[in-house]
Chain A
Amino acid sequence: MAIALFLSVLLIAACGLIYELIAGTLASYLLGDSILQFSTVIGAYLFAMGVGSWLSRFIGKGLVQRFITIELLVGLVGGFSSSILFLAFAYTQAFRFVLYLLVIIVGILVGLEIPLLMRILKDRFQFRDLVAHVLTFDYLGALGASLLFPLVLVPKLGLVRGALLFGIVNAAVALWSTWLFREQLPRHQGLRVLCALVLLALGGGMFSADYVMAAADENLYSDEIILSRQTRYQRIVLTRWKDDIRLFLSSHLQFSSRDEYRYHEGLVHPVLAALPTARRVLVLGGGDGLAAREILKYPHIEQVTLVDLDPEMTSLFSTHGYLKQLNAGSLTNPRMRVINADAFVWLEQSRDLFDAVIIDFPDPTNFSLGKLYTTAFYRLLGHHLSQSGFFVVQSTSPLFARQSFWCIVETLKAAQFQTFPYHVYVPSFGEWGFVIAGRQPWHPPVTLPAGLRYLTVSNLPTLFDFPLDMTAVTAEPNRLNDQALVRYYEEDWKKLTH
């Protein structure tokens, strides 16, 4: 009998601590700054327990009945606390208010438990044994809870189900108490029905936890993240919103599946359609295989060599179901040769010659990437370009980064190439610029491959016409020993964001 009584103390204490830990964890998880969240949650909770203990003096008669009601209330509020908090964060602005309201309600109720229980038991034990035993089991319960929470509850059940499980424990203690204290309970039938109802509600919660989480998640992230991977070189993040898949590399948008065809048709076809005898093509960057998809539309291209730094990038786009569909399986095409290497170093070591080169590097945001846009780089590239060949360079936005764009043109000129700058409107990017370079004049192509969605033979030449706000501005060429481009790029984007 005595053991059973003290066991219920242990369970109650464990439940109380679990709710506190859940509130603290959830607040840290959703709001960040775990030190602040845990400190304020614990402080508010302990204070509320004090309030509960003080309030216990106003409860006079019917102690056992009150005790059981309080247990049921704790079980209900505590059990549903994490569901309520998740939904409050996803759907309302009042997460903090709900958080502290719940913490205070549960705190007050838990604060009432032990004083009431001690008063119920005061006639069965010596006072000094009572205090010793109740507090011993109280602290033991706390220890159990603090171990269960991180080791079992969170990893195995999650926060929503974990809270509900302990709500059920609270309600079970209430139900059990109707037997333990049956002599002191004149009408226990009603209480037992109440207990059953609460248990039913909590059990139902256990089943529908997934729906709660899904509902909350849908509202938390407007764009669903389908993949996030940190490689040696960059962070690859893929998001989906309805039918729009977006790729971010180290937080920079690479493409949106809704309009990437504009970018990649614009990048590839003005050069390749003008080279009907091209056999061998080199792609630098472009590990997503989307430029390669466009290149493979020419049956006379015998081999496409793609050099991209990150093996995880090319392997992702060779194997991932949806991404493979997007690039039409280009990376696993037998005409493809995929090489993972640093482009500058690879060019330095290779002896291969190409009829066309497609350069799709990240924007020159720093001096390391800026090297790939220098006169030295283009001169080296020239050694790999056949006499009649052309190459094209993705050259950032002539509208948002006007001087950067014209700096790339200037750099190509300084490396002794003829240049043919043009621009394409890509809704998710804005106006985007490219430069064709070669050793002789480039002429617009007279045919294009079938199945394009953006380019036509008649609209292609119009891309080479620049509106007044994108026409050439003076710029220094970008050299290894004086990377003007990185400076321009920083200034251009600073102007735009200020």
Chain B
Amino acid sequence: MRRREILGAPLLQLSRKARPPIAGGYVMDGFALGHRLRDGGRFEPARQTTKVETVIAGGGMAGLSAAWWLLKKGYGDFVLLEMEPEAGGNSRFGQNEVSAYPWGAHYVPVPNRKSPLVRELFEEVGLIENGELNERHLCHSPQERLFLHGRWQYGLEPEVGLSRQGREQFARFEEMVAGRHATGKWTIPHALGEVDGKLEGQGFGAWLKENGFDAPELLWYLDYSTRDDYGSSITDTSAWAGLHYFAARDHDEKGPFCWPEGNGWLVRRLRERAAAKIRTGAVVYRVERRGAGWRVRSAAGDYEAKRVIWAAPSFLASRLVEGAPPALGFSYSPWVTANVTLERMPKMAASAELAWDNVIYGSPSLGYVVATHQSLRTHQEKSVWTWYYAMAEKTPAEARKLLLSASWEYWRDRVIEDLSRPHPDIAECVSRIDVFRNGHAMVRPTPGLLGGEGRRTLLRGLPGLYFANSDLSGISIFEEAQYRGVEAARRVLS
């Protein structure tokens, strides 16, 4: 060691206390390919053309469900083309040395009698056994907690410090919801019930005001709910969709079903069943009419098919499918998901143990879901937390601009800042933050979308081409995706 170094050493120690840096980066970035498709970029022409009766374009929940149904009915003459390296869409998942974790959808509420398809699948994969729900896969206690006024409370409805007026409004809202639920018209999927056109044409925020709901805690809770389920704020959501979240579910359910990899658990099972039919890395860049049928051009080759199930987002069709109508009125919310790997747990009070879903009151984020929650261990040192942020306070276009320009470091800092409120020592616990930015994550159930002309045209489809994405339901949830996929499969079979 030289003298200068010896003299310098104590001064070097004056610098800020160092902690190991947080690793990570962007994952599954689809912007380049998405923009190439949008801008009509060139793709290498295929060397071979395969004849197949049906092509399913898109391997998200809708496409996989269509495949599931076709195979169940003994129909095998089809391929499923998925542009990503893995099928799964919004239910894709990741895995590291600590746990599997979701990148998007991460639970399914317990299906009631009005969701026959969901029950059928759940019985097939062992989630419902002899009419009984499989306890292992139901979300373990404690399910939810909310960080409010500097402490955690169990349950997401704000209780701590709630005014009498707030309490009354919560009770009145619940009453109104219960009344609607009792009619039996509010179902999941909603196509099996009835959609109230007047409510559907109205904004949820306006409806709440009209009905005298103004308690800030209630408004926060409802806004959180629409951001969580649809990626849109109460003002951008239709009153029907805002109420549907509550009125279509049974109240005494002991759910939801959840898994470390989120709905990836279902994806695994659906992928297994259709493994022989799935082509990944097979981006569809053009669908043309070919006589009475269709020519589907993809990176995995061209297919000549009699029928096409368009299970990819509907807005892509007008750019890629010959003669497809524009998706009028459809808008999509951009999302950011961060999977945060923890080397150790932050300090926590014994009075409110870590729940599966952990929400921070007043935060623009949706909080975090704990991937290791369903573990049977009594003692856990490491974990993966999935942090969700639906960019609902911005217009989708503004949000996408931020998505394109912000660096990974920006999101790292935002995640840490957000989690630091309930967990001041979080930065010392985190070893890795992987970030997934999704420009068009979910369709937004804006007022008038369901009753609009754009959706009606898409529902009709084209000769031999059926639209199947969950965006046709105006709600991007598993049950709707499954319903749309199976409906399209039924049209193929008929």
Contact = CB atoms under 8 A, between A and B. Distances in A.
B378 A481 contact: no
26 contacts: A232-B379, A232-B381, A309-B378, A342-B376, A342-B377, A344-B376, A344-B378, A366-B353, A367-B142, A367-B353, A368-B380, A370-B141, A371-B140, A371-B378, A372-B378, A374-B135, A376-B135, A376-B136, A479-B254, A480-B135, A480-B138, A480-B140, A481-B139, A481-B141, A481-B255, A483-B140
Contacts of B376: 342, 344-345, 348, 371
Interface size band for B: 10 to 19
Interface in B321-375: 350, 353, 375
A232 B380 CA distance: 10
A370 B378 CA distance: 9
Given A367-B353, A368-B353, A481 B138 contact: yes
Contacts of A371: 140, 376, 378
Instruction: Decide if the interface of chain A is mainly helix, strand, loop or mixed.
Output: helix
Contacts of A345: 375-377
Contact of A233 (B143, B254, B379): B379
A482 interface: yes
A343 B378 CA distance: 8
A375 interface: yes
A64 interface: no
B2 to A, nearest CB: 29
Contact of B254 (A342, A369, A482): A482
B343 to A, nearest CB: 14
Interface in B109-154: 135-136, 138-143
Interface string B247-289: 0000000110000000000000000000000000000000000
Contact of B378 (A232, A369, A376): A369
Interface string B215-255: 00000000000000000000000000000000000000011
A481 B353 CA distance: 15
Contacts of A344: 376-378
Contacts of B378: 309, 342-344, 368-369, 371-372
A169 interface: no
Nearest to B139: A481
B255, B377, B380, most chain A CB atoms within 10 A: B377
Nearest to A344: B376
A342 B378 CA distance: 7
A107 B47 CA distance: 99
B130 to A, nearest CB: 12
Given A366-B353, A374-B135, A375-B135, A482 B377 contact: no
Contacts of A348: 376
Interface in B164-184: none
Interface string A447-486: 0000000000000000000000000000000011111001
Contacts of A343: 378
A312 to B, nearest CB: 13
B350 A342 contact: no
A370 B140 CA distance: 11
A342 B379 contact: yes
A481 B140 contact: yes
Nearest to A482: B254
Q: Which 5 A-B pairs have CB atoms at the shortest separation, nearest pair first?
A: A481-B138, A483-B141, A344-B376, A376-B135, A342-B377
Which one of B135, B138, B142, B254 has the highest number of Cβ atoms from chain A below 10 Å of its Cβ? B135
B141 A482 contact: yes
Contact of B141 (A232, A233, A375, A486): A486
Nearest to A483: B141
Contacts of A372: 378
Most buried by A among B136, B138, B140: B140
Contacts of A368: 353, 377-380
